[in-house]
């Protein structure tokens, strides 16, 4: 009996692993009970739960007579630039760039919302992180989980667990974090501004746009080609009108399967020995700051644009410049409706929202080019 007990993990559980199991259960509770990003937090939480059960062998490398742990092989797709770009393919197939093309100046708001990326990079450097680690932490401000994972695996793979959890957690907390910042930086008069309806965009422009963006971004920021290229390829499948089967597969089966695998892999990287450290608290704090600065950057530029001649701009849509699609756009719309129930900003806010996806990928590519 004693030999059997020793062969189990019952006596091997460390305090750090017990703490991480509690954190994993908290993530599952937030996802299931509170509805915070359940498609992401359920796989991440369950992966973290498995990772901290002793003697699991999930990440064991191959050895003579063994094939290695399951997640040793699944993690290959994360560490070798496969899964995050494929997520972008699915996102492109789901994304409608029409609102942004209808009002091109909203693209600038997607760029302004990258303020948190670069300010947090400086803050992380000041706190003692290396350049690669600081860049990986800063990209949390873009509110784009796959991009955060992609850049972290390139520049600071040792921080994958806390950065991925921070990125996805703050994406889920958009409805709590953004409204106070939006109200602080705008006046009631600004929040009441009504914008013109989104105009239809011709099909030829919808088709040319992903091709042109791929060429321009690949020439300017070559390191971002895999992210931008697959995002735009997915969008081309959507808009060209002759690849319905491929579009449906990218929008459903492919993105769902990759989301499951990617979430589990991120969770499995959250073992107690690497996650329960003072650095993790710093990353969580910096991630929140990055998100706040990105929100503020978009809103402040929106205020400036609201005072310029031309079509009216409600500065609230600037907060949607982070790439949490479509949640950030819904938050901007909801804040506006609290001031005026007849003010509909959802489609107008989608312009900077989808521009933020492109902006975050370009920011990641630029950092990768400069720092790797």
pLDDT given for residue 114 in this prediction: 87
Percentage of the chain beyond pLDDT 90 is 46
Q: How confident is the model at residue 267 (pLDDT cuts 50, 70, 90)?
A: confident
In this predicted model, what pLDDT tens digit does every residue of 166-189 receive, in sequence order?
887 777 778 888 999 999 999 999
Q: How confident is the model at residue 6 (pLDDT cuts 50, 70, 90)?
A: low
Collect contacts of 296-299 with beta carbons under 8 A, ≥24 apart.
296/115, 296/116, 296/181, 296/185, 297/112, 297/113, 297/114, 297/115, 297/116, 297/321, 298/109, 298/110, 298/112, 298/113, 298/115, 298/322, 298/352, 299/181, 299/182, 299/185, 299/186
Report whether pLDDT(8) > 70: no
Q: Are 262 and 149 in contact (CB under 8 A)?
A: yes
Lowest mean pLDDT among 11-15, 130-134, 243-247, 312-316: 11-15
**What is the spatial distance between Cα 308 and Cα 310, in angstroms, rounded to a whole number?**
7
Lowest mean pLDDT among 53-67, 138-152, 206-220, 281-295: 53-67
Between 368 and 324, residue with greater pLDDT: 368
Report whether pLDDT(1) > 70: no
Lowest mean pLDDT among 57-61, 232-236, 312-316: 57-61
pLDDT given for residue 54 in this prediction: 84
Between 79 and 268, residue with greater pLDDT: 268
pLDDT given for residue 171 in this prediction: 76
Neighbours of 252 (CB within 10 A): 13
Report if pTM > 0.75.
yes
In this predicted model, what pLDDT tens digit does every residue of 15-57 receive, in sequence order?
888 898 999 999 899 889 988 778 888 998 999 999 898 877 8
pLDDT given for residue 9 in this prediction: 55
57: left (phi over 0), alpha (psi -120 to 50) or beta: left
**What is the spatial distance between Cα 12 and Cα 9, in angstroms, rounded to a whole number?**
5
In this predicted model, what pLDDT tens digit does every residue of 105-151 receive, in sequence order?
888 888 888 888 999 999 999 999 999 999 999 998 887 888 888 89
pLDDT given for residue 11 in this prediction: 60
Helix axes 278-306, 174-185, angle to 10 degrees: 40
């Amino acid at each position: 009996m004693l030999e059997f007990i020793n062969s189990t993990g019952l006596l091997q559980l460390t305090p750090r692993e017990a703490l991480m199991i509690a954190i994993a259960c908290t993530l599952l509770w937030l996802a299931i009970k509170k509805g915070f990003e359940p498609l992401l937090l359920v796989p991440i939480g369950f992966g973290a739960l498995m990772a901290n059960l002793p003697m699991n062998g999930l990440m064991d490398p191959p050895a003579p007579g063994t094939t290695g742990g399951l997640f040793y092989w699944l993690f290959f797709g994360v560490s070798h630039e496969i899964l995050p770009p494929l997520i972008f393919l699915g996102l492109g197939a789901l994304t409608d760039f029409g609102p942004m093309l209808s009002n091109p100046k909203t693209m600038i708001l997607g760029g302004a919302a990258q303020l948190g990326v670069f300010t947090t990079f400086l803050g992380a450097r000041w706190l003692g992180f290396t350049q690669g680690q600081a860049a990986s932490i800063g990209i949390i401000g873009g509110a784009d989980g796959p991009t955060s994972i992609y850049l972290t695996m390139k520049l600071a793979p040792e921080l994958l667990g806390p950065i991925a959890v921070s990125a996805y957690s703050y994406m889920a907390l958009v409805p709590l974090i953004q409204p106070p910042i939006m109200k602080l930086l705008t006046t009631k008069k600004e929040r009441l501004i009504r914008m013109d309806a989104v105009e239809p965009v011709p099909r030829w422009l919808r088709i040319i746009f992903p091709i042109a963006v791929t060429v321009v971004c690949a020439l300017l920021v070559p390191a971002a080609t895999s992210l931008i290229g697959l995002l735009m390829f997915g969008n081309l499948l959507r808009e060209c009108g002759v690849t319905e089967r491929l579009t449906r597969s990218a929008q459903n089966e492919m993105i769902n399967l990759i989301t499951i695998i990617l979430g589990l892999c991120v969770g499995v990287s959250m073992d107690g020995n690497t996650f329960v450290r003072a650095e993790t608290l710093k990353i969580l704090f910096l991630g929140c700051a990055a998100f706040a600065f990105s929100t503020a950057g978009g809103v402040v530029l929106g205020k400036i644009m609201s005072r310029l001649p031309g079509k009216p701009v409600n500065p609230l849509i600037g907060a949607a410049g982070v790439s949490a699609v479509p949640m950030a756009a819904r938050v901007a719309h909801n804040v506006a409706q609290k001031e005026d129930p007849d003010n509909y900003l959802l489609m107008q806010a989608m312009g900077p929202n989808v521009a933020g996806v492109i902006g975050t990928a370009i920011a990641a590519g630029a950092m990768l080019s400069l720092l790797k």
